[in-house]
Amino acid sequence: MVKKCDISGIGVMSGNNVSHANNRTRRRFMPNLQVVSLFSEALNRFFKLRICSKTLRSIEHNGGLDSYLESARAVELTPDAQKIKKSVEKKKGVSAPKASARKVVKNKSARLTKVAAKKAAK
């Protein structure tokens, strides 16, 4: 069985055991994998996944599986997690915002006048 997180893809790392005499022997650092059932509110179903404890903490911090997948970039997720993310987005009807849709103000004076206009409106 592959020792890899089903969502983030974190796997086995390799390194050295270093003794007091500075002798180095190869070793493997295993991820702390846990089998958990995570509930998707958008899809109204459970997903049984093997995820590492770091990813589980991140999911709980973001407020659940759906919000974690929405905030995570698709590049950071495994193919299985990308499928879940697509189905959640499809069910919610929300697409990711495009970079061109965001308005970026590069001119400092224009930015300052916008801030002044907002304060005056209050």
pLDDT single digits (tens) 5-43: 999 999 999 999 999 999 999 999 999 999 999 999 999
The answer to whether 83 and 65 have CB atoms below 8 angstroms apart is no
CATH class for the domain made up of 13-96? mainly beta
Beta-strand pair 33-40/13-18: unpaired
Give me the residue spans of the domains in the chain. Answer: 13-96
CA–CA separation, 112 and 90 (whole Å) = 39
Which residues share a beta bridge with 48?
37
Q: What is the pLDDT of residue 103?
A: 54
**With 80 as the cut, is the pLDDT of residue 110 above it?**
no
CA–CA separation, 37 and 47 (whole Å) = 5
Indicate the pTM of the whole model.
Answer: 0.70
CA–CA separation, 105 and 82 (whole Å) = 33
**With 50 as the cut, is the pLDDT of residue 62 above it?**
yes
